[in-house]
Amino acid sequence: MQTKIKQKGFTLVEVVIVMAIIGIVIAIAAPNFGEWWPNIRLNGAARDLHSTIMKAKGHAARCNRNSALVFNQVIGGTTFAYVLFVDCDGDSEYDAGESIIIQQQWPTGVVLSATTLPDNDDNYPAISFKPNSIPTGNGGGFANGTVSLTNTNGRTRSVIVNRSGNVRIQ
């Protein structure tokens, strides 16, 4: 008596059909991926900036020293998007010997489009935090402002610091 062997698996035709369907779905979705990446980078840059500002506040309080965040800062011939450092002399300007906490560049396709932060004496937008977490400008008075970032799609995200030191992304 002969026993039938059951064969398991897919036929070549079934595999080809499934691969064709997957290819069609990818072809339809691929152009949308190109639009998503700039927005993902923009949102990430805004979150990173928000996080850095919060770190500046926390570092000032924890170490009982002023911390400053300066945009477009040049250090060693390189222009950084922003630099967070311990501001020993409270002038919101990076001086040789001051301890750098963060040096950051913008992601590809993201630029600083506008800021209302006060400029320091070097004409860079800057904000400092005292140990009590109050934001100050170059002259030592209260400071607040907005930093707006724009991507290649023209979409903008803003990070806002108010006079009490609260930070939010809009």
Global pTM reads 0.81
- The string of pLDDT tens digits covering residues 93-147 is 999 899 999 999 999 999 999 999 999 999 999 999 999 989 998 877 889 999 9
Say which residues have a Cβ less than 8 Å from residue 59's Cβ, sequence separation at least 6.
65, 67, 84, 86, 101, 129
Q: What is the pLDDT of residues 43-54, one digit of tens each?
A: 999 999 999 999
| Contact of 123 with 132, CB cutoff 8 Å | no
Sorted by where each starts, the structural domains of the chain and their CATH numbers stand as 38-169 (3.55.40.10)
